[in-house]
Every structure is written in C-alpha cells, then in structure tokens.
Amino acid sequence: MTRRPALGPAATVAAIVAACVACCVGPLLALISGLGLTAAVGALWAPVLAILAVAAAGAVWWLRHRSRARCSASPQVADLPMPTMSNAEVRELT
C-alpha cells in the first residue's frame, strides 16, 4: 500500500474556499438578483409615483381652495339687537 503525499497549506485553503463558495453562492446570487429586481421596479414605478404625488398635491390645493371659497364671511357687519327677557321669563328660570 502506498501512501498519498500530504497536501500543502495551499490545497487546504483552496478546499475551504471551494466549500465556502459552494455553500454561499445561492444566497449571494439571491441577494444580488433581489437588489436588481428592486432597482428595476423602482425605475419603472418612479414616474408613476411622481405623477401620483403631483395629482395628490393638486387635489389638496383644489380642496383647500374650495373650502375657503365656501367658508368666506361677508365683509359687512351684522347689527343684531340684544335679546330682552320679560319679568315672567326671568321668574320661570329661577
């Protein structure tokens, strides 16, 4: 029986690196593809989000403008007389 020669430190490091690559390549590729997918969706949705933001700002302006026009008071002063109570009404309250 012949003995195999002992592997050197470089072969041991190479075996460790190969095992690490075999174990970690799947999650790393998933992470990289997930980031790419997120970037692609962001690139496609950015114009849509900008349009929605402008539409929401326009709706807020329109609603505020509408409520101000509806709730504006007349510039004239309303002269209202003071109410008076008769003695009989005062006695009923006491």
Q: Please give the tally of structural domains in the chain.
A: 1
Long-range contacts of 1-8 (CB under 8 A, 24+ apart): none
% of residues, the chain, pLDDT over 90: 9
Is residue 57's pLDDT more than 90?
Answer: yes
What is the pTM (predicted TM-score) of this model? Answer: 0.36
Question: Domain for residue 46, yes or no?
Answer: yes
Residue with token string 């101000």: 68
Tokens of 39: 């970037």
% of residues, the chain, pLDDT over 70: 84
* Residue range of the domain that includes 20: 9-68
pLDDT for res 55: 95
Question: Domain for residue 78, yes or no?
Answer: no
Question: Domain for residue 20, yes or no?
Answer: yes
